[in-house]
């Protein structure tokens, strides 16, 4: 990997792309620390320090992760990339349900551009809702439950509307920066920004662990290296289904007769099931923060506060693990259609050796996919439980640095970016047949 990066910096046009990507990342991080107009930054910093060992980081854990710690600071980019991720997931699900979106998906580049435009509109709508919710929590003092200091300079309507508009505009700028990286930089822009937000909290968290206990720091680093190696191994693992294409005459030319394979990854769903499960478990925690402070709390709210506010509760852990398994099977079923793959293979004269084309091929692919999804879902569940187990056993911080979601994002985006750099290097250093 280091060799590929060093060779990339020695290639002029690729070096310019890498420097452009780094420049966008710097602007992105600058917006993550720039406070929103109307925020009392001194009180926010003090409340944030008091909340490091409290429940605030756990309640807003997923949004806080994808904002790189900018959410609780109420910065311009406080919402981070989370509205775009949620909008993309919703559009992917609706593509299976709504025939119009499914038809757009099959239209190629023009249909994909239309779906991307719908994703942007939905992102803005979600950003308005989320920014309004978090500004309301900051205004009422429920963003930091144990801190009673005012977080806003003024509680008038103009200040609140200004903060909502600025945070929503920040989400729009994040989308624009991601598209700039995709067009003029290296790698997928949104993935690079997610990667940046995740690793942004690593130095401070590792420094806090080192200050508390040097031996714990060494143990955490060893466990982190082991987890990264395990995640790389599983993310690269795949089952290759051999496919043979029969020879056929088209005019006077003979086509086909080639052998290829269908790569089915063990983790076919990626990190999406973890995001789904975390988003669902975020809802009861948000309900507790909104309605748990009333004089006569509801019985349901009391039960949710008892079992779902802290991540080390057995009910929370079991629900989180089962939701990840369920969403893994669900997402794989809607993103990989064995019947469609079998029909396309049959249309172009392809077949799996020993399996008849058509329905037997679809059944075989479904069987193999279900066998692969089982260990993949267990792998996602176990990796995601690492920070929760560390919290329960060792009393680690809520923002345990080597959490499952963080590792999955780091490894996935890192591998994909390095592969793209290597592919561009191969295009620029192609030697041909003559040496």
Least confident of 201-205, 307-311, 332-336: 307-311
CA 181 to chain centre: 17
The CATH number given to 1-200 is 1.10.3370.10
**pLDDT tens profile 170-197:** 999 999 998 899 888 888 888 888 888 8
**pLDDT tens profile 323-346:** 889 989 988 888 888 988 888 888
More confident residue, 46 or 340: 340
Residue with tokens 């500004």: 135
Q: Is the dihedral of CA 26, 28, 30, 32 positive or negative?
A: negative
Residue with tokens 């598209």: 179
User: Is 202-402 in the same CATH topology as 1-200?
Assistant: yes
CA distances from 252 to 108, 212, 245, 246 (A): 30, 76, 18, 16
Residue 319 pLDDT > 60, yes or no?
yes
The confidence band for 67, taking pLDDT boundaries of 50, 70 and 90, is: low
Q: State the average pLDDT over residues 356-371.
A: 90
Q: State the average pLDDT over residues 154-175.
A: 89
Residue 391 pLDDT > 80, yes or no?
no
The confidence band for 56, taking pLDDT boundaries of 50, 70 and 90, is: very low
Question: What are 116-119's contacts with CB under 8 Å, separation 24+?
Answer: 118/91, 119/84, 119/87, 119/88, 119/91
More confident residue, 41 or 266: 266
Structural element, H or E, at residue 78 = none
The confidence band for 29, taking pLDDT boundaries of 50, 70 and 90, is: confident
CB-side neighbour CA atoms (13 Å) of 71: 31
Residue 59 pLDDT > 70, yes or no?
no
Residue 124 pLDDT > 90, yes or no?
yes
The span from the CA of 216 to the CA of 198, in Å, is 22
pLDDT for residue 23: 92
pTM: 0.78
The confidence band for 95, taking pLDDT boundaries of 50, 70 and 90, is: confident
pLDDT for residue 394: 54
| Numbers of helices and strands, H then E, in the chain | 19, 5
The span from the CA of 281 to the CA of 311, in Å, is 10
Share in percent of the chain as helix, strand, coil (round to 5): 70, 5, 25
Q: Who's near 191: CB < 8 A, 6+ residues apart?
A: 412, 413, 416, 417
Least confident of 35-39, 104-108, 261-265, 281-285: 281-285
Tell me what the pLDDT averaged over the chain comes to.
Answer: 79
The span from the CA of 298 to the CA of 292, in Å, is 8
The 8-class DSSP code of residue 431 comes to: -
Q: State the average pLDDT over residues 24-31.
A: 89
Burial class of 433 by CB neighbour count within 10 A (0 to 12, 13 to 18, 19+):
exposed
More confident residue, 25 or 10: 25
**pLDDT tens profile 207-256:** 877 887 788 778 878 878 888 888 888 888 888 888 888 776 666 676 66
pLDDT for residue 173: 92
pLDDT for residue 165: 92
The confidence band for 398, taking pLDDT boundaries of 50, 70 and 90, is: very low
Domain 202-402 has CATH 3.20.20.140: no
The span from the CA of 273 to the CA of 190, in Å, is 18
Residue 203 pLDDT > 70, yes or no?
yes
In the chain, where the domains are located: 1-200, 202-402
pLDDT for residue 251: 66
Percent of the chain with pLDDT over 70: 82
The 8-class DSSP code of residue 248 comes to: E
By three-state DSSP, how is residue 316 classified? Answer: helix
Q: Where are the beta strands (DSSP E) in 223-298?
A: 238-245, 248-250, 253-255, 259-265
CB atoms within 10 A of CB 136: 14
Q: Who's near 204: CB < 8 A, 6+ residues apart?
A: 69
pLDDT for residue 435: 45
* Alpha helices, DSSP H, located in 252-295: 272-291
The confidence band for 433, taking pLDDT boundaries of 50, 70 and 90, is: very low
CB atoms within 10 A of CB 9: 11
């Amino acid at each position: 990997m280091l060799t590929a990066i060093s060779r990339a910096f020695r290639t002029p046009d690729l070096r310019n792309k890498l420097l452009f990507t780094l420049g966008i990342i710097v602007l992105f991080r600058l917006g993550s620390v720039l406070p929103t107009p109307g925020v009392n930054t001194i009180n926010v910093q003090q409340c944030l320090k008091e909340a490091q060992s409290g429940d605030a980081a756990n309640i807003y854990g997923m949004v806080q992760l994808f904002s790189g710690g900018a959410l609780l600071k109420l910065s311009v980019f406080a919402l981070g990339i989370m509205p775009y991720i949620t909008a993309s997931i919703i559009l992917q699900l609706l593509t299976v349900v709504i025939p119009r979106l499914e038809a757009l998906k099959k239209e190629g580049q023009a249909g994909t551009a239309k779906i991307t435009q719908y994703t942007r509109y939905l992102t803005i709508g979600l950003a308005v809702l989320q920014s309004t919710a978090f500004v309301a929590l900051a205004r009422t003092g429920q963003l930091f439950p144990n801190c009673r200091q005012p977080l806003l300079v003024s509680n008038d309507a103009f200040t609140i509307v200004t903060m909502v508009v600025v945070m929503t505009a920040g989400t729009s700028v994040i989308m624009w920066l991601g598209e700039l990286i995709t067009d003029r930089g290296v790698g997928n822009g949104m993935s690079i920004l997610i990667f940046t937000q995740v690793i942004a909290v690593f130095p401070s968290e590792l420094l806090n662990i080192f200050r508390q206990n040097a031996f714990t720091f060494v143990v955490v680093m060893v466990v982190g290296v082991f987890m990264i190696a395990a995640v790389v191994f599983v993310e690269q693992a795949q089952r290759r289904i051999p496919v043979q294409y029969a020879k056929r005459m088209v005019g006077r030319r003979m086509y086909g007769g080639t052998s290829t394979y269908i790569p089915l990854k063990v983790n076919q769903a990626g990190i999406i099931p973890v995001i789904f499960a975390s988003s669902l478990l975020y809802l009861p925690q948000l309900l507790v923060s909104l309605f748990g402070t009333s004089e006569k709390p509801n019985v349901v709210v009391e039960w949710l506060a008892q079992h779902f506010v802290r991540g080390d509760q057995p009910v929370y852990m079991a629900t989180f693990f089962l939701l990840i398994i369920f969403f893994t099977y669900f997402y794989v079923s809607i993103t990989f259609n064995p019947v469609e793959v079998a029909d396309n293979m049959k249309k172009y004269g392809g077949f799996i050796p020993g399996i008849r084309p058509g329905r037997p091929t679809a059944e075989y692919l479904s069987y193999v996919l279900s066998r692969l999804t089982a260990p993949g879902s267990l792998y996602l569940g176990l990796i995601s439980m690492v920070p929760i187990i560390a919290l329960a056993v060792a009393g680690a911080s809520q923002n345990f640095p080597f959490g499952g979601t963080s590792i999955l994002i780091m490894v996935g985006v890192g591998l994909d970016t390095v592969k793209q750099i290597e592919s561009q290097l191969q295009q620029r250093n192609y030697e041909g047949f003559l040496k």
